[in-house]
Amino acid sequence: MNKNRLMKISILLLTVLLFSPYLYAQNYDESKVGEYTLPDVLVTESGKKITTKKEWEQTRRPEVLTLFEEHVYGQFPKKYDRLEYSVKNEDRNAMNGKAHLKEVELVITNNNKPVRINIVMFIPNNLKKPAPAFLLINNRSKRNTAASRDTLSEFWPAEMVIDAGYALAAFHVSDAAPDNKNTYQNGVLELYPEQINANNGMRAIGAWAWGASRVLDYFEKDKDIDAKKVAVVGHSRGGKASLWAAAQDQRFAICASNCSGNTGASLSRRNFGESVERINTSFPHWFTTNYKQYNSNENALPVDQHMLIALVAPRPVYVTNASKDLWADPTGTFLAAKEAESVYELYKLESKLPQRPPAIDTPIVSPPIGYHNREGIHDLTKYDWARFLEFANNHYKKNVP
């Protein structure tokens, strides 16, 4: 290659590098959001209007679920050969006698390939019957959910949850799929290798949600847990997975999705904060290959995220934001929750959400749709958990602690 050509190519590459942050610059200006039209959650692909819960359950719900599988999160294989579990560590007197600690290893096998999911769980000792539970899909440090309780993290305030009369469990996303674009296949996807090259194949977020479902399979065998009262909780990328888990697995009684933002609880078509192109570029291993065709092309999506929230209906769903987390688009999250109301209405469940986004720290903790925009940064805190507890109490009609 001659010198001149090399020089030209270098200049071009340098320019692209220099300007790439601008190519992905995100909008934070409400006046620049522009117009958009959401797909109607209650109109089928063939244009039929859905007016009853029967039509929703028989026609539109399966259709919407398939659209999300096909275009966004990928297939969700339900069959596997075996699930075995063993209690690796146990302390009946944990938390000064308040709780029963169990560390359980699940081994799920399919086609002779195993995946291991480790669960840490605390169960209140003073309950006479199986405990309702919260399950966190932990996307952050394992220290947050340490059985030793030597780090008391707000991300998983186990003592507070135990005091409120619920069991608390967690598993780490890396057991199901490492959160890495080069290694995410080393986990659940080894059980389903056909997914890897499929354009609608499962990716990391799908694998994390799948992991949550397997923990629920285990809960059904654990007499300490009331498997009919399990809330699945996730923060941010974990909150995208908690919504997808609750959409796919209707055994989850409640879903909490904290600061889940783009391709979680906030609307993709709203041009504010993180975009589909940005998320697909930063995290190519989270969603399907098909999803990449919606980069800068959100209007072509046959779904938007209000429809994911609606898939949780009639079960209660709680979505949140933090005031300084504009990346996750608080307004877009609130609007998505509002748009899901029409499906709850088919079940005669009246949403208590206000017409406009509520003020900061003004939570709506009445089912079926909970929402708050907490003062502060992108995080999962005691404030968030305390609201999830109130919401669950309201749903199960327990006294608020």
Binding site for ligand GTR (CB under 6 A): 139, 236-237, 261-262, 274, 279, 282
Cβ 328 to ligand GTR shortest distance, Å: 7
Scan for tokens 């819960």, then name that residue: 53
183/282 with CB nearer ligand GTR = 282
3-state secondary structure at position 156: coil
Cβ 278 to ligand GTR shortest distance, Å: 7
Query: Residue 62, by phi and psi: left (phi above 0), alpha (psi -120 to 50) or beta?
Result: alpha
Asked if 344 and 289 touch (Cβ cutoff 8 Å), the reply is no
- By CB atoms closer than 10 A (0-12, 13-18, 19+), residue 360 is middle
* Residue 70 CB coordination number (10 Å): 17
What residues act catalytically?
236, 378
Angstrom CA distances, 25 to 95, 122, 154, 305, 332, stand at 47, 43, 32, 22, 18
Q: What does the alpha-carbon distance between residue 145 and residue 153 come to, in Å, rounded to a whole number?
A: 8
8/143 with CB nearer ligand GTR = 143
249/274 with CB nearer ligand GTR = 274
320/393 with CB nearer ligand GTR = 320
Cβ 282 to ligand GTR shortest distance, Å: 6
Cβ 16 to ligand GTR shortest distance, Å: 22
274/341 with CB nearer ligand GTR = 274
Tell me how many degrees the CA angle 314-155-390 measures, rounded to the nearest 5: 40
- Best CA proximity match to 255, nearest among 228, 230, 272: 230
Query: Which single residue brings its beta carbon nearest to ligand GTR?
Result: 236
Cβ 219 to ligand GTR shortest distance, Å: 25
Provide CB contacts within 8 A for 8, sequence distance 6+: none
